[in-house]
């Protein structure tokens, strides 16, 4: 049996509304697989150089697209979700301010190493408590949801965090990029359910690629950290927390996950999502179109400022970005919970 | 009589001598492991002398280890140097296990057998987590990474692996550095 051409499939689809042509799925599958393999190849080949270029190009834009996506998911009136959103925004603000102040606290040099670890563990515990509170508030809205297991799970995580605060923080660095894949999964379930199976098959490739990367790179020599920028990149990937692991492996794996993260927010979700007019709080008669437009324009200006900063002083801008960017990491939690 | 006195003198002398403490032997100073870090062995055909290069951060860690200060080590090391954090972690783990047990016991969707299995799985997971925490840094034996060293040296390729820095007492050959590689005869 010969395959249908695109035009034949289109004609057939017009006559049969239930017919779903498989061409987009195949294209989607191909794009996802090629993206994963290409990201892994570049991340393994030149981790430091690609990391610098990737961050410069995509860090700011991905935050802008993320902000736009969150605005799209924000209801016009909170209604029954009022407590949830109040908790989400209050926690977001408090945790972000606390995190941004940590470098200043550290530079005050009033703390021993042990006390500093306790401070980090305290912030991580506050994060887990906030997440637990959001899960509890969300579960009250979903009567069928059985999320009580999250309480002991959260306590176990908090316990592990107190045993190794640095390791826990490093785990967050590596887990955060994967959250974007979860967002895409939930979004496909709503908008392109026929693609979901294909997408999840593609995700099966991820552990395989990671295993190959670890196998290939575990024996490699450490990356040079002779200058401040390279040192920052290796430290961010956990070279100090895991001194026995090759920094080449650490940077490559982290970069690989970050590239997937950027690809989801900048390419996948906008293509599937929609245009600016779909932001409910902007298009609704009782909405805030000017506020939304102002926010997005301000964020766009922020992207330009970030590019300018990277051009002038890459290392310092990188430090500032990764400190302030904790806000977008935290913001993902409530919006993901709303999609569960 | 004289013979008896002589015998008594000899006996008392031997008793008195026996009560004397034995001369103090100088204590044997054993090798002291101060730091576990990573080592790269590479070749340089242009070099005229063997070089031992130490990064600044490694030197700082070594200095801290020699001074007895805590260095970045394993999780177990972290536990041992911070009792406060260990106590908090223990309390949280206790609460986690307790709440998980209560939730499991109150769950109506599980039968007795399933609850028993669930409890066993929970205990197994906890033991597993504890084992990972205490032994997770063990990994494969350190010699595994060095197994191809001779071949790599012959080919001029670098080899990367873990190394224990030990402070040993000065030997007969005077001050020197020695690198002991965990290689077995092929």
Under an 8 A CB cutoff, do A114 and B81 touch?
yes
Under an 8 A CB cutoff, do A121 and B158 touch?
no
Q: Smallest Cα–Cα separation from A306: which of A298, B148, B121?
A: A298
Q: Are A322 and A236 in contact (CB under 8 A)?
A: yes
Under an 8 A CB cutoff, do B82 and A118 touch?
yes
* Rounded Cα–Cα distance for residues A34 and A156 (Å): 37
* Rounded Cα–Cα distance for residues A109 and A116 (Å): 9
Q: Is B159 helix (H, G, I), strand (E, B) or coil?
A: strand
What are the DSSP calls for A206-227, one per residue? HHHHHHHHHHHHTTSPPPP--S
* Rounded Cα–Cα distance for residues A39 and A258 (Å): 9
Residue B40 located in a structural domain = yes
Under an 8 A CB cutoff, do A163 and B38 touch?
no
Look at residue A59 and tell me whether its pLDDT is greater than 90: no
Are residue B116 and residue B148 in the same domain, yes or no? no
Look at residue B143 and tell me whether its pLDDT is greater than 70: yes
- What's the whole-number mean pLDDT along residues A138-150? 81
pLDDT for res B79: 52
Q: Measured between CB atoms, does B75 come within 8 Å of chain A?
A: yes
Q: Per DSSP, what are the bridge partners of residue B171?
A: B174
Are residue B148 and residue B184 in the same domain, yes or no? yes
Instruction: State which residue of chain A sits closest to B41, comparing Cα positions.
Output: A221
pLDDT for res A188: 84
Distance set, CA A129 to CA A134, A176, B76, B163 (Å):
9, 18, 25, 40
Structure tokens at A256: 């690989």
Q: Measured between CB atoms, does A118 come within 8 Å of chain B?
A: yes
Look at residue A117 and tell me whether its pLDDT is greater than 80: yes
Under an 8 A CB cutoff, do A167 and B37 touch?
no
Instruction: State which residue of chain B sits closest to A147, comparing Cα positions.
Output: B103
Residue B24 located in a structural domain = no
pLDDT band at A131; cut points 50, 70, 90: very high
Count Cβ atoms below 10 Å from residue B9 Cβ, excluding itself.
10
Mean pLDDT of chain A: 82
| Model ipTM over 0.95 | no
Are residue B66 and residue B144 in the same domain, yes or no? yes
Under an 8 A CB cutoff, do B70 and A163 touch?
no
pLDDT band at B139; cut points 50, 70, 90: low
Instruction: State which residue of chain A sits closest to B146, comparing Cα positions.
Output: A219
Under an 8 A CB cutoff, do B86 and A162 touch?
yes
Let me know if B146 is exposed, middle or buried by CB neighbors in 10 A (0-12, 13-18, 19+): buried
* Rounded Cα–Cα distance for residues A214 and A245 (Å): 10
Q: Which domain holds residue B163?
A: 29-45+52-71+140-186
Domain boundary among B116, B136, B156: B136
Under an 8 A CB cutoff, do B160 and A219 touch?
yes
Q: Per DSSP, what are the bridge partners of residue B37?
A: B163
Residue B15 located in a structural domain = no
Name the residue facing A246 among B70, B137, B160 (closest C-beta). B160
Least confident of A5-19, A80-94, A218-232, B48-62: A5-19
* Rounded Cα–Cα distance for residues A167 and A135 (Å): 24
Which of B39, B42, B78 best probes binding to A when mutated, by most A CB atoms within 10 angstroms?
Answer: B78
Are residue B62 and residue B109 in the same domain, yes or no? no
Q: Measured between CB atoms, does B93 come within 8 Å of chain A?
A: yes
| The total number of structural domains that make up chain B | 2
- What's the whole-number mean pLDDT along residues A273-302? 73
Least confident of A118-132, A146-160, A244-258, A267-281: A267-281
* Rounded Cα–Cα distance for residues A103 and A96 (Å): 12
pLDDT band at B75; cut points 50, 70, 90: very low
Please give the span between the terminal C-alpha atoms of chain B, in angstroms, as a whole number: 76
Name the residue facing A117 among B40, B85, B100 (closest C-beta). B85
Total residues found in chain A within this entry: 340
CA distance A119 to chain B (A): 11
pLDDT tens digits, one per residue of B5-55: 565 555 555 544 455 555 555 555 566 667 777 788 888 777 777 878 787
Mean pLDDT of chain B: 70
Residue B111 located in a structural domain = yes
A82 CA to centre of own chain: 25
Are residue B184 and residue B94 in the same domain, yes or no? no
pLDDT for res B174: 67
Residue B174 located in a structural domain = yes
Are residue B148 and residue B169 in the same domain, yes or no? yes
B59-62 — which CB contacts under 8 Å span 24+ positions? B61/B35, B61/B37, B62/B34, B62/B35, B62/B37, B62/B165
Are residue B95 and residue B186 in the same domain, yes or no? no
pLDDT band at A26; cut points 50, 70, 90: confident
* Rounded Cα–Cα distance for residues A237 and A248 (Å): 10
Q: A111 contacts in B (CB within 8 Å)? A: none
- What's the whole-number mean pLDDT along residues A246-260? 89
Structure tokens at B98: 């307790």
Q: Smallest Cα–Cα separation from A313: which of A220, A228, A242, A239?
A: A228
pLDDT tens digits, one per residue of A172-189: 889 988 888 898 888 888
Q: Are B38 and B163 in contact (CB under 8 A)?
A: yes
* Rounded Cα–Cα distance for residues B110 and B1 (Å): 98
Are residue B63 and residue B147 in the same domain, yes or no? yes
Are residue B86 and residue B103 in the same domain, yes or no? yes
Are residue B56 and residue B90 in the same domain, yes or no? no
């Amino acid at each position: 049996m010969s395959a249908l051409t695109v035009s034949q499939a289109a004609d057939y689809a017009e006559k049969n509304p239930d017919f779903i042509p498989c061409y987009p799925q195949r294209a989607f599958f191909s794009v996802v697989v090629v993206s994963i393999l290409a990201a892994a190849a570049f991340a393994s080949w030149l981790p430091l150089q690609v990391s610098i270029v990737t961050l410069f190009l995509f860090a700011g834009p991905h935050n802008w697209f993320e902000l736009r996506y969150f605005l799209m998911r924000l209801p016009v009136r909170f209604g029954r979700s009022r407590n949830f959103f109040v908790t989400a925004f209050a926690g977001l603000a408090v945790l972000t301010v606390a995190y941004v102040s940590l470098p200043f606290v550290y530079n005050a040099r009033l703390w021993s190493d042990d006390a500093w670890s306790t401070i980090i563990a305290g912030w991580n515990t506050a994060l887990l408590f906030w997440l637990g509170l959001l899960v509890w508030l969300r579960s009250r809205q979903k009567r069928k949801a059985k999320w009580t297991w999250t309480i002991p799970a959260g306590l176990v995580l908090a316990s592990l965090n107190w045993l190794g605060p640095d390791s826990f923080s490093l785990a967050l660095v590596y887990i955060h990029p994967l959250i974007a894949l979860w967002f895409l999964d939930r979004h496909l379930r709503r908008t392109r359910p026929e693609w979901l199976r294909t997408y999840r098959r593609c995700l099966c490739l991820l552990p395989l690629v990671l295993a190959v990367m670890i196998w290939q790179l575990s024996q490699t020599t450490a990356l040079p950290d002779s200058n401040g920028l390279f040192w920052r990149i290796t430290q961010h990937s956990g070279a100090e927390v895991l001194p026995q692991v090759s920094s080449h492996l650490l940077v490559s794996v982290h970069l690989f996950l970050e590239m997937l993260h950027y690809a989801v927010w900048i390419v996948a979700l906008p293509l599937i999502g929609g245009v600016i007019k779909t932001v409910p709080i902007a298009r609704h008669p009782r909405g805030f179109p000017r506020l939304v437009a102002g926010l997005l324009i301000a964020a766009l200006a922020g992207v330009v400022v970030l590019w300018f900063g990277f051009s002038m002083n890459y290392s310092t801008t990188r430090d500032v970005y990764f400190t302030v960017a904790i806000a977008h990491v935290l913001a993902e939690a409530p919006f993901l919970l709303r999609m569960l | 009589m004289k013979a008896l006195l002589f015998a008594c003198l000899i006996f008392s002398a031997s008793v008195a001598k026996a009560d004397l403490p034995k001369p103090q032997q100088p204590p044997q100073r054993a090798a002291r492991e101060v730091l576990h870090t990573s080592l790269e062995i590479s070749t340089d055909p242009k070099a005229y002398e063997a070089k031992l290069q130490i990064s600044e951060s490694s030197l700082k860690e070594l200095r801290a280890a020699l001074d007895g200060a805590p260095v970045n080590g394993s999780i177990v090391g972290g536990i041992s140097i911070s009792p406060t954090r260990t106590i908090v972690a223990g309390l949280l783990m206790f609460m986690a296990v307790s709440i998980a047990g209560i939730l499991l016991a109150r769950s109506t969707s599980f039968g007795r057998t399933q609850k028993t299995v669930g409890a066993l799985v929970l205990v197994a997971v906890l033991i597993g987590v504890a084992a990972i925490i205490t032994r997770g840094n063990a990994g494969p034996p350190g010699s595994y990474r060095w197994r191809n060293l001779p071949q790599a040296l012959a080919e001029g390729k670098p080899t990367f692996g873990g190394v224990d820095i030990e402070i040993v007492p000065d030997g007969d050959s005077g001050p020197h550095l020695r690198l002991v590689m965990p290689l077995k005869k092929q």
